[in-house]
Structure 1
């Protein structure tokens, strides 16, 4: 489960800690998608987790989708770089029998923005997720809005990896989950290479050519919900707003699964 941090780290001291509001005159172009011939949806759904997490962050959503007859696979990303995470995602895509709906949470949005160019991918679903432009890093993208409430929920280690603080996990990352679940997230989190959000840039955004869906988490403390709304509009996404923390797939799994299922039914396959 990743976040959209304004990371207050010595290692990232060169980055601006005060984010400027996007200048509408300089805003990147909105995606323009050419409608492909009519299709019948997809049965393969690949789920991409965000930072500080693994594939089990989708554990509440997977059985709901499988009950509807979908073949669901959760990627296990190393969180060491965008390139490494994209490679892991593309290996999973290659194992699917037929077209794929690619779903990403938080940092996983950056991953699907790049990996979604794979010819097997028919559509993209962003869940409180990054959707950078070409040439943007994760942090570059966050400069389109004010810092989120949980901007200081991260701490670095000596090797250059980031972890969630205990306070940040409980109060900002997953504040609408029961305490036991929040403690579990803190205890099982995976470190995220600090170079990934600050140095790794998107080459060609898949959302410019693939139909997209977006879940805005209106109570998100890790990504400014205003930024999420802006991203959803920019990528021309079918949008659902949930009153949720940064992890709607854990706090409102039924609604997230229903939205993903709707996208899988409606996506047209070339």
Structure 2
């Protein structure tokens, strides 16, 4: 055998040996789940309503932004949420509490949104407003405590906070929620979404069994409508404040499933 033939034969043997070794998987198959979470607060609140959940998500290596919705109109709140989505690098799990469910159902049509998670939320269908969503069920007790000012903004009475909104929190926390609440433009309750993103995105829902703002009957009907993976908690309207560990765990499980 010539030297050239020997070299060719040895090279072929080496190449076969290399190809027979286990090869590392492509990077995309190693990475599992979504790493970005955008949290959207509801009426009378701001981004700090997620303050107990955010560190728990960070501890799992998730990137988190809590939107500061102006609560001046549905359109303004959707725009604020879409700006937060744009700040993330890659796909997003969009999480909405209460009225924030209206916001994420519209903003969730953004192509970067991989899934939706609703927390004690209002969930509209196509072309529905807040009023449309709640009209099929008896009025929630907490809604009787809405107070409208001369400028057309709603706030929640101290009785509303104590009895219907956050009744499972310590008294001092309830006082802070009352003192820091953000007025909600009444016009936001009349504006309709366009197309419901849950029709094309996987969805999850947390239901508070002692929620007197979005009642359990309404929340269960919504979850059934959107075919959501559902978690029921014995909580008020604000489980992310009263039971942050359980809410964070559910969010984390959703990110891992996407």
Secondary structure, counterpart of 1:150 in structure 2: helix
**Are residue 236 (structure 1) and residue 227 (structure 2) matched?**
yes
* CA distance in structure 2 between the aligned counterparts of 1:102 and 1:108, rounded to whole angstroms: 10
User: What is the aligned counterpart of 2:203 among 212, 215, 222?
Assistant: 212
Q: CA deviation at 1:167?
A: 0.8
Q: CA deviation at 1:146?
A: 1.3
**Are residue 162 (structure 1) and residue 159 (structure 2) matched?**
no
* CA distance in structure 2 between the aligned counterparts of 1:119 and 1:151, rounded to whole angstroms: 34
**Are residue 112 (structure 1) and residue 104 (structure 2) matched?**
yes
Deviations 1:172-191 (A, max 9, x none): 11000000000000000000
* CA distance in structure 1 between the aligned counterparts of 2:163 and 2:108, rounded to whole angstroms: 32
Alignment of 1:181-260 (within 5 A): 181-197=173-189, 199-260=190-251
Secondary structure, counterpart of 1:124 in structure 2: strand
Deviations 1:192-236 (A, max 9, x none): 000101x21010000000000000111001111100000001001
Which structure shows the higher helix fraction?
2
Q: CA deviation at 1:153?
A: 1.3
Aligned counterpart, 1:263: 254
Task: Provide structure 2 residue ranges, at least 5 long, that are not aligned to the other structure.
Answer: 1-30
Count of residues in Structure 1 that have an aligned counterpart in Structure 2: 229
Q: CA deviation at 1:41?
A: 1.1
**Are residue 50 (structure 1) and residue 37 (structure 2) matched?**
no
TM-score normalized with structure 1 length? 0.83
Q: CA deviation at 1:134?
A: 0.8
User: What is the aligned counterpart of 1:74 among 59, 66, 69?
Assistant: 66
Q: CA deviation at 1:40?
A: 2.4
User: What is the aligned counterpart of 2:56 among 64, 85, 106?
Assistant: 64
User: What is the aligned counterpart of 1:83 among 75, 83, 91?
Assistant: 75
Secondary structure, counterpart of 2:219 in structure 1: helix
Aligned counterpart, 1:138: 130
Secondary structure, counterpart of 1:201 in structure 2: coil
TM-score normalized with structure 2 length? 0.87
Q: CA deviation at 1:151?
A: 2.6
Alignment of 1:163-178 (within 5 A): 163-178=155-170
Deviations 1:34-62 (A, max 9, x none): xxxxx821000000000101000000000
Secondary structure, counterpart of 2:141 in structure 1: coil
